[in-house]
A and B are shown apart, each in its own frame.
Chain A
């Protein structure tokens, strides 16, 4: 059995956040003969969503409860209005909601190291427990892979590095790390691991495919698949470059438009250049035969409403012209807020 951990991006999630993702994967799988005639995707894969947004929620709740309690008490008027309140006042309601539901997560993860580690331990513990659980259920040859999106790519990168590279016990070697344990595949959609890089150097981490460092003790993956969309505003800067990571690093470049929300998890998976390698990793090379792959790629039109595309492209190109090598994360975040319709998880408008 293959276990596929799903890691969400920025924004508030619900318990069933992964259902649209798994539904789409099953719908896409049914396009291929192997899954229609033989076993289904679910027969061979267990989807295991991991949530970490509750950590952000708890923190924001605590601040909110403490602040609003003070503000509504007799002591409230004694609090001076600060820059954050001024900033919030300058945004319209939609921008404010977007800021708190999406951008605040990114800022907390990047700039609050204590909470960054709190999020990482949440993910590390979930992975470790699930590995134990599924090995008990399906046997020791159970395979594990990861499919991460947006902020989730930075979170899973850092969490995997710490899971595998930390000496968890003073006397006993970390058998959850390489070379004792290695994960099958890491699919990174809209990879933010370099954008949000902090204390773990992405180019030197153990989240690297076999052959990437020339040292099996520092290679935690069988393969690393990096998916980049040319017009995704989230990844306009600091893209992951796997040129030095050997032949088990696979780069997939996209430029399709099927949704105003280019950044959406499913907008990436919709493309056969993404879901076919994923299916083959999960179910084998013959799950999508080369002829089907050629047909699927040929049939997949980037988009047919050119006017909308031109408009979106212009917005992105306009945003790109405002950044250069010296731009900061804050410059990028300002672009995200301006282009929120193209990156907001709950603002999907099919073209």
Chain B
């Protein structure tokens, strides 16, 4: 680099820094991301634009509305010298929107909500460009509002992003913001549908995992491998595998003979089982499992467990007999599975656990 070039670069850098420093602390202006600079009385202010076009909005004459926006931008009395190409980009954006809306009108009878894939409703959304410049990335090529003193900072060092006057930048922001608001009005119903769909998915996931039948790590792995789901809907079924839980056992003859009524804790292992979730939000489930029951005072028992609904789980088990002559003890046992988490979480506050 020659001496002269270096000197010029230094002068540019110093003037850039000085300009930047001088503008620090100024009130919000059109080049800042906030909208504090806006004059609500300006005819280009989005609320005024919506009010002007209200009848057309009600009649869904969206293509005509955007044609109006294009011609109003074209007839703008702002001096566009030095940045004519930037204004043209905005007008091109309006015209592209007219083209997309017209296609939905002609091919799909103006049923916008079902054909938003044909319309870019984010084209006029304001964005951040480079380090803090206001811009519109939805337009192609994008529009950047470059201010005096920032010519050397990317992206304002590109010829397609000239420095704009305040009037030019205001014109772009007023008109683009109004267009953005109009498109958000057009698609408002779709926003609502998507947010409701996300809420439905959320409820299903909460019911499936937070309020559903707890899975131990190996069961999560098994179910993850065997089941299909996506973020919209968790699996509607669940496999149970080697699932330990606490059970209370009562011999069936204990119900008729108070002397025989001996409730006893046992370790129940559900060897394998299956659950089905029911309801639009998966708010209930039912299932069956094959079980093994272990107790210190008796040989192991085998049997089954039925879950007719959330929170209910009971089955029968037959314990092997210690007597070599008999395979099983004659009296089967009623086994009630205890969902400890449910009990503890329900009573956590009361029990101060």
B131 near A281 (CB under 8 angstroms)? yes
Is A334 an interface residue, CB under 8 A from the partner?
Answer: no
Is B193 an interface residue, CB under 8 A from the partner?
Answer: yes
- Taking the closest CB of chain A, its distance from the CB of B105, in whole angstroms, is 17
- Taking the closest CB of chain B, its distance from the CB of A278, in whole angstroms, is 10
Please judge, given known A-B contacts A178-B122, A291-B20, whether A129 and B209 are in contact too, CB under 8 Å.
no
Surface stretch bound by A, among B58-66, B217-225, B327-335 = B217-225
Is B210 an interface residue, CB under 8 A from the partner?
Answer: yes
Partner of A75, one of B26, B132, B154, B267: B267
B190 near A141 (CB under 8 angstroms)? no
B33 near A2 (CB under 8 angstroms)? yes
B132 near A287 (CB under 8 angstroms)? yes
A117 near B195 (CB under 8 angstroms)? no
Bound CA span A65–B302, Å: 25
B194 near A174 (CB under 8 angstroms)? yes
Bound CA span A173–B223, Å: 31
B202 near A121 (CB under 8 angstroms)? yes
Is B95 an interface residue, CB under 8 A from the partner?
Answer: no
Bound CA span A174–B296, Å: 58
Total interface residues on B, CB under 8 Å, equals: 92
B16 near A290 (CB under 8 angstroms)? yes
Partner of A125, one of B25, B138, B199: B199
- Which of A117, A216, A285, A290 has the most chain B CB atoms closer than 10 A to its own CB? A285
Is A149 an interface residue, CB under 8 A from the partner?
Answer: no
Is B114 an interface residue, CB under 8 A from the partner?
Answer: yes
List residues 185-227 of chain B with CB under 8 A from any CB of chain A.
Answer: 187, 190-191, 193-195, 197-199, 201-202, 205, 209-210, 214-217, 220-221, 223-224
B17 near A289 (CB under 8 angstroms)? yes
Chain B residue at smallest Cβ distance from A77: B296
Q: List the B side residues contacting A15 at CB < 8 Å.
A: none
Partner of B231, one of A39, A120, A141, A173: A120
Is A181 an interface residue, CB under 8 A from the partner?
Answer: yes
Is B181 an interface residue, CB under 8 A from the partner?
Answer: yes
Bound CA span A169–B113, Å: 12
Partner of B155, one of A32, A182, A247, A284: A247
Partner of A180, one of B27, B116, B201, B246: B116
Partner of B205, one of A121, A175, A184: A121
Please judge, given known A-B contacts A114-B209, A185-B128, whether A168 and B197 are in contact too, CB under 8 Å.
yes
List residues 212-266 of chain B with CB under 8 A from any CB of chain A.
Answer: 214-217, 220-221, 223-224, 229-232, 234-235, 244-246, 264-266
Q: List the B side residues contacting A58 at CB < 8 Å.
A: 210
Is A113 an interface residue, CB under 8 A from the partner?
Answer: yes
Is A44 an interface residue, CB under 8 A from the partner?
Answer: yes
Bound CA span A222–B193, Å: 25
Bound CA span A163–B197, Å: 11
B231 near A117 (CB under 8 angstroms)? yes
Chain B residue at smallest Cβ distance from A219: B137
B234 near A117 (CB under 8 angstroms)? yes
Surface stretch bound by B, among A18-26, A66-74, A315-323 = A66-74
Q: List the A side residues contacting B267 at CB < 8 Å.
A: 70, 73, 75, 78-79
Bound CA span A188–B89, Å: 32
Is A150 an interface residue, CB under 8 A from the partner?
Answer: no
A141 near B126 (CB under 8 angstroms)? yes
- Taking the closest CB of chain B, its distance from the CB of A234, in whole angstroms, is 24
Enumerate 13 A-B pairs (CB-CB under 8 Å) in ascending A order: A38-B25, A70-B246, A114-B215, A121-B202, A168-B197, A222-B135, A222-B137, A279-B132, A280-B132, A283-B132, A284-B31, A285-B147, A285-B153
Q: Which 7 A-B pairs have the closest CB atoms?
A: A280-B132, A75-B267, A289-B20, A285-B132, A69-B340, A37-B25, A222-B127
